[in-house]
Structure 1
Amino acid sequence: MTATKDPEPRGRRRSFDVDQAVETAMRLFHARGYDAVGVAELGAELGIKPPSFYAAFGSKAGLFERALQRYIQGEANIFARALADGGDVATVIDRTLALAARLYPRRDGVAGCLVLDATRNSADPDACALTAAAKRASREALRAFIATERPAKAGALADFLTIAMAGMSAAARDGADEAALTAFAETAGRAFRREMEAD
């Protein structure tokens, strides 16, 4: 992406790449959580001063929203990736859990899911509202997919998966490795299949 014009006086151009700035912020928020990353640190990492920061993003929450959108639209959207490969509900859910087990363990200082963990215990209502909306959308996508086969159980099974994924993300941030998460994912997948098949 090319730099865009800065809405500051005298028609000055931004001296930073907005797309790269969002990528950098996404990694910081993911690694440390929303509250632990301050505006001053963001400005230093992005190489911009506060006026340029606020002109580009409006607020820290505004940048976080952009970072969340980037994250959700990328490879970190585990359910969308699992769904793209096709299969019945149980197969796609097995694939979703297996992908989470592979992707959530710490790599390059980052563990877990940005959506699930970035605002855990956060005091910022705007940031919490953003992740809450993303979680609701994720749960609804799961519920709607499960409902294609088991509509009466879709809500309860979507809740089961949402809680399982949140637990996997939290465990990864606490140091759980891929082997431990894979064992859990397999157990959760078997439990999901049993509930799908039960009358």
Structure 2
Amino acid sequence: MDQPAIPRPRGRPRRFNPEAAVATAQRLFHARGYDAVSVADITAALGINPPSFYAAFGSKAGLYKQVLERYAHTGVVPFRELLRSDRPVADALAELLEQAARLYAADPETTGCLVLEGTRCIDAEAREAARNFHLAKEEALRGFIAARHPEAAGRLTSFVSTTMAGLSAMARNGYGLERLLASAEVASCAIREVLSTSEEHPS
């Protein structure tokens, strides 16, 4: 008696793992910058054709948004762990800048901050996605400082954000960890000086 035919699943089977694809794309975007990576570059790295790419991600910017989400959990400076209410503000901000310096210089192929560099890309949709991510981190930083130093929260948030952008740019331009750490230390001294003249308000 003939065996009954096993029905085949409808549709073309996926030729790639979406999570692995996003990880590969993250490295491409981080290493080259969003604007320098083409869809052809991505499909070649993933081993898929353009129709499969668009079916999976919708667009290059759509993939980039997934990359930002992944970066939030795998590559970004751990804001939540560092900005705890039980820590002195100056110590927390100093460690934030130190960890940023170390992270931005950790891998010579993916220097700097993926998000900060993305805020300067040409593509409007991708730039807006990176900026929204960055603004959310800035608001978390502002809230942490304002809980005890409300009068200094605005200027210190801007200063820390500017310092992190500078550290990212330095790393992208080839400066090593020692130079980045030195810059972070100088910035931390300035932060301590500002906070020393600010009356602390317990939360």
TM-score scaled to structure 1, two decimals? 0.90
1:114 is matched with: 114
The runs of 5 or more residues in structure 1 that have no matched partner are 1-8
CA distance in 2, matches of 1:26, 1:89: 32
Report how far residue 28 of structure 1 moved. Answer: 0.4
RMSD of Structure 2 on Structure 1 (CA): 1.8
Contact 2:142 2:154 (8 Å CA) reproduced: yes
Report how far residue 115 of structure 1 moved. Answer: 0.3
| Matching of residues 133-144 of structure 1 within 5 Å | 133-144=132-143
Moved more, 62-71 or 76-85: 76-85
Q: Does 1:160 align with 2:159?
A: yes
2:187 is matched with: 188
CA 1:86 to 1:171, structure 2 compared with 1: closer, same or farther past 3 Å? farther
The runs of 5 or more residues in structure 2 that have no matched partner are 1-8, 199-203
SS at match of 1:11: coil
Report how far residue 111 of structure 1 moved. Answer: 0.3
Report how far residue 197 of structure 1 moved. Answer: 1.8
CA distance in 2, matches of 1:31, 1:118: 12
CA 1:158 to 1:56, structure 2 compared with 1: closer, same or farther past 3 Å? same
Report runs of 4+ in structure 1 exceeding 6 Å deviation.
Answer: none
Report how far residue 107 of structure 1 moved. Answer: 1.6
CA 1:33 to 1:80, structure 2 compared with 1: closer, same or farther past 3 Å? same
CA 1:81 to 1:28, structure 2 compared with 1: closer, same or farther past 3 Å? farther
CA distance in 2, matches of 1:52, 1:189: 48
Q: Does 1:130 align with 2:167?
A: no
Q: How many residues align?
A: 190
Moved more, 88-97 or 60-69: 88-97
TM-score scaled to structure 2, two decimals? 0.88
Q: Deviations over 1:75-125 (max 9, x none)?
A: 4234234236952211111111111121111624110000001352x2210
Larger radius of gyration: 2
SS at match of 1:35: helix
1:58 is matched with: 58
SS at match of 1:116: helix
